[in-house]
Structure 1
Amino acid sequence: MEILVMAGQLILGLSILVGLHELGHLLAAKAFGMRVEQYFIGFPPKVFSIKRGETEYGIGAIPLGGFVKISGMIDESLDTAHTNAEPQPYEFRSKPAWQRLIVMLGGIIVNVIVGIMIFVIMAYKNGNTYLAAEDVKYGIVAYDLAKSIGLQTGDKIVKVNGKEITDFNEIRSSEVMLGDNSTYTVERNGNRVDIDIPNDLADKLIDSKGGPSEPFVAPIEPFKVGELAPGQPAEKAGLKTGDFITSVNNVPIQYYHQFVDAMKSLKNKQITLGINRNGTPLTLTMTTTPDGTIGFYKESLLKLTTEDYTFGEALSVGTKRAFQVVFDNIKGFGKIFRGEVSASKALSGPIGIAQNLFGGIWMWDRFWTVTGLLSMALAFMNALPIPALDGGHATILGYEIISGRKPSDKFLEGAQRVGMVMLLGLMAFAIFNDVFKAFF
């Protein structure tokens, strides 16, 4: 069922984004009097189509892209039959270069607008709920990777790159993970210590399957028992929502990471929990699962801060978040080119996107957030100056506008073929990489 949910979210999200992207090309082309022969969401074979005026609108069976076919344009279809005839007034090739440039940028512009709109609406709807750095009163839990760079459990991270932090999540921001020569400043035993962050930290935080590896750091959390999983040992033994776990096999427990550590060596074993229920001490006995769990969700006792945004504030915050996706993509590619992040870990195709971003539970807020992220990423990728992408077409048109010389149809055809080979190779690598990470 989870696979169907992941696939459904991916297909819906991509269909929305590709449909709007291609609509940007279509509207710009029609605005300048160009004939649009086809508008398709998905690639052939054709599933359904309907013709309205001069344009055939349809849906393809492969839901991983789409296309608009404009008369007189050498595109991914590599249809060059028109090159032997005289240009017609309604053809792409007969229009001024500036109009053709706008048509090629139409999809990117629409994706940017859609991405900004989604981030703005989500910011206005949900505001910003976060764990304030000042409310992480007990410091951090440092896991193995964090320990390897010099962090210790109990440290309080107070600065990132010399700047005081207000949101605990700033310690895992793109500025840190994708930046260079970053530092943490921590309070430890009454002193402040600077910790250098290695430039390949992002690579170490990604496991071989392209998802998050082991935890890095977490806040030290006092906790109580939250929702119970039906039929699990905790419920059967009589544990209640709101109980405080005070010990495991007579080992005192105060924080959640202590409980997790205590349970690691207690898989499929009988244990005794000390409980505080409304001020009354109790003892419960149960047998853990083979995974060493008992079946409850923790309820953190750390206070979260929520700030609501006016529409004007949401407009500013949402726009900033949208363009941060582009900046992070640029930083990420820089890390890959410098060898600080493995391409096989960082690059994902449709399977990786479905697994690591959408997930197996349909949550509308997450769906729209991921769709907004993908919209900005799609705009960035299409803007790259690679033949066959919008950015490649735009680069050639920019040359034409500046030089006043139009490249030959033979050159355009050759560039398109090279671009298609590059894109197909990249797509094949991404899909193979997804399959390898999923099954090996």
Structure 2
Amino acid sequence: MSIALFALGVLVVGLGLALSIALHEVGHLLPAKLFGVRVTQYMIGFGPTVLSRTRGETEYGLKAIPLGGYIRMIGMFPPHKGEPEGTIREDSTGFLQQMSQMSEDAKEFESSQYGQEDAHRTFVALSVPKKLVVMLGGPTMNLLISIVLMTVMVSGIGLPAVTPTVQSVSECVLPAEAPADAGCEGEQEAPALAAGIRPGDTLQEIDGHPIDTWSDVTVAIRASGDRTVPVVVERDGETLHLEATPIVDARPVLDADGAAVYDANGDLMTEQVGFLGVSGTPDLVPQSPALVPEMAWSAFTQTGKIILTLPVRLYDVAQAAFGSEERDPNGPLGVVGVSRLAGEVASADQPGFELKEKAATLISMLASLNMALFVFNLVPLLPLDGGHVLGALIEGVRRRIARWRGRLDPGPVDMSRLLPLTNAVAIIFILMTVLLLYADIVKPITLFP
């Protein structure tokens, strides 16, 4: 394994993830500024500030722990209304009282960050639709990044497919159920070998049918029966006109994807069709971008299923990390696990897994990570974007009901009242991060055993 290539893979995915986080925050920043909200900070990372520069009224910077990012808008909570002069606060150990006090302290701090002249520029002053645009801007940016990367992968690099370039030519005709190591003694010579077709030839035409994909080869040969048919191939830049006489033989029934079909008992299903005796070459073949929406939807639903079952999956990760259970290769990964896989991909020395395949895999990883960021941030819990989206939707419903009933506007939803729950969720996220970090170190998931 090349250490340099391993480090390169880690760097590529690390920079890609950092850029994805940065663009996620841009997705919040741009509409907030467009709607006139005063944004005081745009930060990538958490913890101590490493580098920052102020432009206008916003401080832009990098922080020491690169595990996320945020923008800070004034007035995330309704303003603190103050207390009558001479009011004396009393400490209380009651849970509800502590929750109320935490809310009031948060609102008081928020209110101290801006003056009355900026009250119209707060987040809570926005209409419900504008709040939704601001809070959904970040996740939407991750969705767009994922779709763009999928398009690059599908139409620029390609998806796995079998091409009409001949990879191998059978020496003889063997039964469909014959084992892979069966010999050719006493068997009939394969029609392709007899016709002079060689590995490396590109099939261009069979029986007058133009060949663009491997499925064209399968259809043309199976329909030919045992007739002698013309075969046009390209060999070393030269076009050759050959003739082949397929035989009718029992061959596997194929489904729409070209895979062999088995019956309810697990037995291979066969049919009498033409057989030539060639196999195509697996490769990455560029496809139509029309495939991207279906891929994106599939990635969205699969990611959603993972998040819905995340508690169970994390329990399984803990079982593997602290016990003898095997780690689920399709289970959740932390930053270390993703970095390790990226390094493995870049440094892999596997037959048929060259630069193009490595690039496609790394792009696929970044597309999946952005889809995960999109779906995860839609979870309706603070401090995630979905929590603020839920608050805006509740606010809109409350205001609509108040108008229907002819009552006064109830005002914005006070999300500060959920701060205890927000802190609890944040602690859970931290514990999850630590668990995945430990599991990725002691029981890593690997691509190539």
- Is the structural similarity TM-score above 0.5? yes
- State the distance in 2 between where 1:30 and 1:424 align: 30
How do residues 342-353 of structure 1 correspond to structure 2 at under 5 angstroms?
342-344=316-318, 345=328, 346-353=331-338
- State the distance in 2 between where 1:424 and 1:332 align: 19
Q: Which amino acid is 1:381 matched to?
A: F
Look up the SS of the partner of 1:18 in the other structure: helix
Q: Which amino acid is 1:19 matched to?
A: A
How do residues 13-162 of structure 1 correspond to structure 2 at under 5 angstroms?
13-73=16-76, 80=107, 81-83=109-111, 88-131=119-162
Q: Which amino acid is 2:132 matched to?
A: L
* Residue 371 (structure 2) pairs with residue 376 (structure 1): yes
Structure 2 unaligned blocks of 5 or more: 78-104, 169-174, 181-250, 272-276, 319-327, 348-357, 400-409
Contact 2:106–2:416 (CA<8 Å) still a contact in 1? no
* Residue 257 (structure 2) pairs with residue 166 (structure 1): yes
Look up the SS of the partner of 1:361 in the other structure: helix
Over aligned residue pairs, what C-alpha RMSD do you find? 3.9
Percent identical: 24
- State the distance in 1 between where 2:20 and 2:139 align: 11
Contact 2:147–2:296 (CA<8 Å) still a contact in 1? yes
* Residue 423 (structure 2) pairs with residue 417 (structure 1): yes
Instruction: Quote the residue 1:303 is aligned against.
Output: 281
Residue from 10, 13, 30 that aligns with 1:10: 13
Instruction: Quote the residue 1:326 is aligned against.
Output: 300
Look up the SS of the partner of 1:359 in the other structure: helix
Label 1:19 to 1:140 Cα distance change in 2 as closer, same or farther (>3 A): farther
- State the distance in 1 between where 2:54 and 2:120 align: 22
Instruction: Quote the residue 2:362 is aligned against.
Output: 367
- State the distance in 2 between where 1:141 and 1:426 align: 48
Label 1:347 to 1:189 Cα distance change in 2 as closer, same or farther (>3 A): closer
Contact 1:323–1:376 (CA<8 Å) still a contact in 2? no
Q: Which amino acid is 1:94 matched to?
A: A
Instruction: Quote the residue 1:281 is aligned against.
Output: none
* Residue 393 (structure 2) pairs with residue 390 (structure 1): no
Contact 2:6–2:342 (CA<8 Å) still a contact in 1? no
Per-residue deviation, 1:96: 1.8
- State the distance in 2 between where 1:385 and 1:42 align: 22
Q: TM-score, normalised by structure 2?
A: 0.57
Question: Larger C-alpha radius of gyration, 1 or 2?
Answer: 2
- State the distance in 2 between where 1:380 and 1:139 align: 45
Give the stretch that moved more between structures: 114-123 or 340-349: 340-349
Q: Which amino acid is 1:402 matched to?
A: V
* Residue 336 (structure 2) pairs with residue 355 (structure 1): no
Per-residue deviation, 1:107: 0.3
Contact 2:252–2:269 (CA<8 Å) still a contact in 1? no
Q: TM-score, normalised by structure 1?
A: 0.58
Label 1:305 to 1:356 Cα distance change in 2 as closer, same or farther (>3 A): closer
How do residues 219-238 of structure 1 correspond to structure 2 at under 5 angstroms?
none
Label 1:432 to 1:141 Cα distance change in 2 as closer, same or farther (>3 A): farther
- State the distance in 1 between where 2:313 and 2:60 align: 44
- State the distance in 1 between where 2:383 and 2:179 align: 48
Structure 1 unaligned blocks of 5 or more: 143-155, 172-182, 193-221, 223-299
Instruction: Quote the residue 1:399 is aligned against.
Output: 394
Contact 1:358–1:367 (CA<8 Å) still a contact in 2? no
